[in-house]
Amino acid sequence: MTRVNVPGVIAGLLTITLPFLGAWWHLTLGTDALVVSAAPFEVVTSIFGEKMTSPLFWWFCLGLKLGVIYVGVVLLAGSVLIASDDHTAIADELIRFGSTKLMYLIIMFVAALLIAITLANQSSGLVPFRINLPYLIGSDVISASAEGARITIPIGMKLTWAFGAAVLAAMLGIVARVYQKKM
Amino acid sequence: MNVKTLRIILPLVPMILLVAMVAAAFAAHGWDVEATLFAEDPARKMENLIAPDVMAGGDSFKVSDISISDDGRKISLEVEFRSPLNVPVTVKELSADIAADGGSSRLSLQDEVKILPNKSATLEIAGLLNGTPSTMGTTQLPPNLTIKLEIGGIIIEMAEIP
């Protein structure tokens, strides 16, 4: 009977692929007036197709991508190493470390978006137009009028399948941790 | 390697990675803080969306032709619109009042027009005529001009453009 932690192996492999699956969430103003594609390890902003970049942020995101890959490798290594009786303690430690980090990342990412959207919605009193942004997914329209001019901005938000893959990987990580304790 | 050492090393690696990447960002840009923070000046990038001569105050609208149908009941104005933006613009609606001795006529855009970045297009506005228009022979825009533009999915409506 194999002693490999199967949920951990799948979670580890899935975590390693996450930085290559693209953005987790998209925000669109108009059709392409402003497009924000975000994940914990990348934020791409384009205004009318022109990408706005910061080299520092790009390098920081590269560090985060490598960090996510590192977590996946640690989880994978622990899940495989458990088969060796000599390295059980180390495998336990690797799985303990690697199994929860992705979940924390998802929670922080979602919380950051919710806080940003809530603050934007609360700022309606500060700007001369009503803001009622959807929470993470959905669409709405912002309208503003001033001195004979009126602007109407359709807003769309959506979570991508890459976010679903991240949630699945995080859940499998938790399952791997529980499974490890029962092995 | 024992578990205690591993417990210290495991969380240290991502932190070292992040610090190394931030240092690499500065090193790759000659330790120039501004160049590291911004690849291009964001304000200049936004200015690039607007055609430079429009920033200097150039006119976007000019009446290029006025014509009246043979039966004298319909008037058409050809308005040359020069896009002030370096992004595609669609003129969805354009209307204006034209004064005539019998009152005024409301002229409206016949078809929506797509204009390429920083290019001009001729917009035809037409309407039924009540008398002789007072703007014949001028290139001045008629009063009460209203326009509805679509820029990247954003709708902008402006009234009484001077």
Q: Is the dihedral of CA B55, B57, B58, B63 positive or negative?
A: positive
CB contacts of B154 in chain A (<8 Å) are: 29-30, 33, 151-154
Please write the tens of the pLDDT for every residue from B90-137: 999 988 887 766 667 788 888 889 998 878 888 888 888 776 665 555
pLDDT for B162 beyond 60? no
**CA pair distance A8, A77, nearest whole angstrom:** 9
Structure-model confidence comparison of residues A147 and B22, the more confident one: B22
**CA pair distance A26, A130, nearest whole angstrom:** 22
CA distance A87 to chain B (A): 10
The number of beta carbons lying within 10 Å of the beta carbon of residue B110 is: 13
Residue of B nearest to A156 (CA): B153
Please write the tens of the pLDDT for every residue from B48-70: 766 555 545 556 778 888 888 88
Q: What is the pLDDT of residue A72?
A: 96
A50/B45 touch (CB, cutoff 8 Å), yes or no: yes
Q: Is the dihedral of CA B39, B44, B49, B53 positive or negative?
A: negative
**CA pair distance A143, A123, nearest whole angstrom:** 15
Phi and psi at residue B65, to the nearest 5°: -160, 145
Per-residue pLDDT, averaged over A142-170, amounts to 91
Q: Find how far residue A1's CA is from the centre of its chain.
A: 36
Q: How many residues does chain B have?
A: 162
Q: Which residues does A41 contact at the CB level (< 8 Å), separation at least 6?
A: A19, A61, A64, A65, A67, A68
Mean of all residue pLDDT scores within chain A: 90
Task: Specify whether the CB–CB gap between A128 and A144 falls below 8 A.
Answer: yes
**CA pair distance A71, A17, nearest whole angstrom:** 11
**CA pair distance A65, A54, nearest whole angstrom:** 16
A90/B159 touch (CB, cutoff 8 Å), yes or no: no
Best A29, A41, A47, A48 member to test B by mutation, with max B CBs in 10 Å, is: A48
Q: Which residues pair with A143 in a beta bridge?
A: A152
Residue of A nearest to B24 (CA): A59
**CA pair distance A56, B22, nearest whole angstrom:** 6
Which whole-number Å values give the CA distances from A59 to A56, B17, B62, in the listed order?
A: 5, 10, 49
CA distance A167 to chain B (A): 21
- Closest partner CB to A148 (pick from B28, B151, B158): B158
Task: Quote the DSSP letter at residue B134.
Answer: T
pTM of the model: 0.82
Please write the tens of the pLDDT for every residue from A97-138: 999 999 999 999 999 999 999 998 888 777 767 778 899 999
Lowest mean pLDDT among A126-130, B138-142, B156-160: B138-142
Per-residue pLDDT, averaged over A48-57, amounts to 85
B158/A31 touch (CB, cutoff 8 Å), yes or no: no
With a pLDDT cut of 90, the percent of chain B lying above it is 21
Q: Find how far residue A21's CA is from the centre of its chain.
A: 11
Per-residue pLDDT, averaged over B11-26, amounts to 93
Q: What is the DSSP string of B10-47?
A: HHHHHHHHHHHHHHHHHHHTTT-HHHHH-SS-HHHHHH
**pLDDT band at A48; cut points 50, 70, 90:** confident
**CA pair distance B106, B145, nearest whole angstrom:** 10
**pLDDT band at B147; cut points 50, 70, 90:** confident
- Closest partner CB to B25 (pick from A31, A33, A59): A59
Structure-model confidence comparison of residues A87 and B150, the more confident one: B150
Q: What is the pLDDT of residue B139?
A: 52
Q: Which residues pair with A139 in a beta bridge?
A: A156
Best B2, B12, B18, B44 member to test A by mutation, with max A CBs in 10 Å, is: B18
Q: What is the pLDDT of residue B3?
A: 84
- Closest partner CB to A62 (pick from B21, B45, B159): B21
Structure-model confidence comparison of residues A17 and A50, the more confident one: A17
The number of beta carbons lying within 10 Å of the beta carbon of residue A51 is: 12
pLDDT for B87 beyond 90? no
Task: Specify whether the CB–CB gap between B86 and B118 falls below 8 A.
Answer: yes
Q: What is the DSSP string of A7-50?
A: HHHHHHHHHHHGGGS--SEEEEETTTTEEEEEETTEEEEEETTE
A119 φ/ψ sector (left φ>0, alpha ψ -120 to 50, else beta): alpha
Asked casually if ipTM beats, i.e. exceeds, 0.95, the reply is no
Q: What is the pLDDT of residue B141?
A: 60
Per-residue pLDDT, averaged over A67-81, amounts to 94
Task: Quote the DSSP letter at residue B93.
Answer: E
